[in-house]
Chain A
Amino acid sequence: MFLIHCPYCGELRDEQEYRCAGEAFIQRPGLDCTDEQWGDYVFNRTNPKGRVVEQWAHSAGCRKLFVVERNNVTNEIYAVRTFESYKEQA
C-alpha cells in the first residue's frame, strides 16, 4: 500500500482513492497511419521495470487526472505533477 499526494486536493491520500490509468504521454498517430502504427498505439506498452511515468485519476476525490512518476518495484513515488507543469516545462 502506498500514499499519493494529489496535486489538486493538496493532500496525501491512500492509493485506494485513486485509479491508475496506465502509461502517460502516449501519442495518438495521425489518421493516415498504417495498421501497424495503430496497433502499436492501441495495444503495445513499454511496461518498464523500475521508473514509470503514469497517469492516475483521483477517482474518489477531485476526479482529476495527473501524472505520477513511480518506481514500480519499490512503489516509491518520485514526483506527482499536473499535465500543465509538463507543458510549461516544454
Chain B
Amino acid sequence: MKYSWLEVFKAGLSGQKQWPAAWPEVSPKAAYDVIIVGGGGHGLATAYYLARDFPGTRVAVLEKGWIGGGNTGRNTTIVRSNYLWDEATNLYEHSMKLWEGLSNDLNFNVMFSQRGVYNLGHTLQDMRDIERRVNANMLNGVDAEIVSVAELKERIPILETGKHVRYPVMGASCQPRGGVARHDAVAWGFARAAAKQGVDIIQNCEVQAMDIEGGRMKGLQTSRGYIKADRVGCVTAGHSSVLAGMAGFRLPVTSHPLQAFVSEPMKPVLHTVVMSNAVHGYVSQSDKGDLVIGAGLDPYSGYSQRGSPHIIDHCASAIIELFPIFSRVRLNRQWGGIVDVCPDACPIISPIPQVQGLYFNCGWGTGGFKATPGSGNVFAHTIGQDKPHPLAAPFHINRFVTGALIDEHGAAAVAH
C-alpha cells in the first residue's frame, strides 16, 4: 500500500483500524545472495538500497532483537554534514542530500526537520577551529556560517551569552540545513521500503558463528538455523568486534557506552539544535516537546547500555549553564547505547581483506545516525559491486595499515 492522505482519509472512516502490517513477519529461507547482519538504520538502509539498485539480489536482514532497538532508537537524532576533511564531508553531505528526499523516497514520513544546528565556541581556539571548519565546508559546497554572540542572542534568546559564566560563549558555527529526524520512523521507513523490494526482515535471529572455508564466506549459523550466503555485510555498531571475532580477525574499534536523556514534554522553547564540544553537551527539543540531551562517552570500554551517572551530571551542568531556563526541568528517561569508536573518529566501510565475501560497516562511534541513508547507500554499492563505492573508498579498513587516517576528532568529538 502506498501511504497517502487519501489512505488516511479512507482508514479514518473505519476508525484507523484497517491498516495492514507495514512489513511481513518472515522466517529465514535456506539461502540468500546477501545477508545484512544488524537491523538498525544503517543495516536496513543497506538492504533497501541493495534491493533497489541491484534488482534480483535476494537480501535478508538479520536482527538479534527488534528493528531499531539498538543505537537507532537510542541516539539524539541530530543530522548535519559540517565535517572538516573532504572525505568525511563528501560522505556526510551525500547522506544529507538523501535525507532531503528521504520521506518521498521511502513513502514514509521520517519527520526530517531542517531546523539548523549550532556548534558553540567557548575559547579563542574553538573560534579558530570553527572558522577553519566553516571555510572548509563552504569550499566543499556545504552550507555553513559563523555566527557572532550578538546574533546568537538574537536567534536563540534563551541561550546564556553573558560573560559571567565559567565558559562564556564566544560565537558559533551554524549549518542551516542541519536538523533532526524521528529515529524510529527512519528504521520503520527503511524496513517497510526494503520489505516492499523483497527483502526478508528477520527479527529475533542472532548470528552465532560464521561459516568460512578457505577464506570465503559460505554462510551463517544463527539462532534460527543455518543460512547460506556467500556475501555478508555486518552493520552491528558496538558489537562489531564480537562479529569480527567470529570471523577470526580484529577491528581497530573499542566499544563504549554513550548516554542520552530526555526531559518531560514541554511547550516549544528551543527551535533549533545547540551543541557544545567544550562544555560537553547538546540539546534539541523534539516535536513531542521533550528536551533531548546527549552526553559524552563513558571513558572506559563497555557493553553495559547504561553508563556512569557522573557523565550525566557533567552534561546536565553544561546544559544548565548554557540554558539557565532549563534548571528546573525534570528528566524523564536516561539510557545508554554501545558505540564503536574508531581511532580517527571516522567509520570503516569496507570489504574485509581476510575473508572473500565479508564486508563491515562500523566504527561510526558517537555519530552514525546522521549518516544512515548515505552509509546504507555506499555500503550497498560496495557489496553489490564487490568494490568500494568512490565515497566509501577512503574509509577502507586498510587505512589502519597505510596510515592514511581521516582525523575528524575536531568536527566529530562529542558533538554528534
Q: Do chains A and B stick together as partners?
A: yes
A contact residues vs B (CB 8 Å cutoff): 1-2, 15-16, 19-20, 22, 35-36, 39-40, 42-50, 52, 54, 72-75
Residue in B254, B303, B304, B402 whose CB lies within 8 Å of A45: B254
B250 to chain A: which residues have CB within 8 Å?
40, 44-47
Report whether A75 and B251 are in contact in the complex, using a CB–CB cutoff of 8 Å: no
The reply to whether A35 and B401 form a contact with Cβ atoms under 8 Å apart is: yes
B contact residues vs A (CB 8 Å cutoff): 239, 241-242, 245, 250-255, 299-304, 308-310, 340, 343, 400-403
6 A-B pairs within 8 Å (CB atoms) are namely: A16-B308, A16-B310, A20-B300, A45-B251, A72-B300, A74-B304
User: By the criterion CB–CB under 8 Å, are A48 and B245 in contact?
Assistant: yes
Closest CB-CB distance, A6 to chain B, in whole Å? 16
10 nearest A-B residue pairs (beta carbon): A43-B252, A47-B241, A20-B300, A39-B401, A44-B250, A43-B400, A72-B302, A49-B303, A39-B400, A73-B303
Give A56 Cβ to nearest chain B Cβ, in Å. Answer: 8
Note all chain A residues with C-beta closer than 8 A to B239. 49
Which residues of A sit under 8 angstroms from B253, Cβ to Cβ? 45, 47
The distance from the CB of A25 to the nearest CB of chain B, in whole angstroms, is 15
- Are A43 and B308 in contact (CB-based, < 8 A)? no
Judge whether A20 and B310 touch: CB under 8 Å: no
Is the CB–CB distance between B400 and A47 below 8 Å?
Answer: no
Q: State in angstroms the CA–CA spacing of A52 and B303 once bound together.
A: 11
A40 to B301, CA, bound (A): 19
Cβ–Cβ contact A19 & B255, under 8 A: no
**Whole-angstrom CA separation of A52 from B242 in the bound complex:** 13
- When distances are taken between beta carbons in the complex, the residues of chain A under 8 Å from B301 are 20, 22, 47, 52, 54, 72
Identify A72's interface contact among B245, B252, B299, B303, CB under 8 A. B303
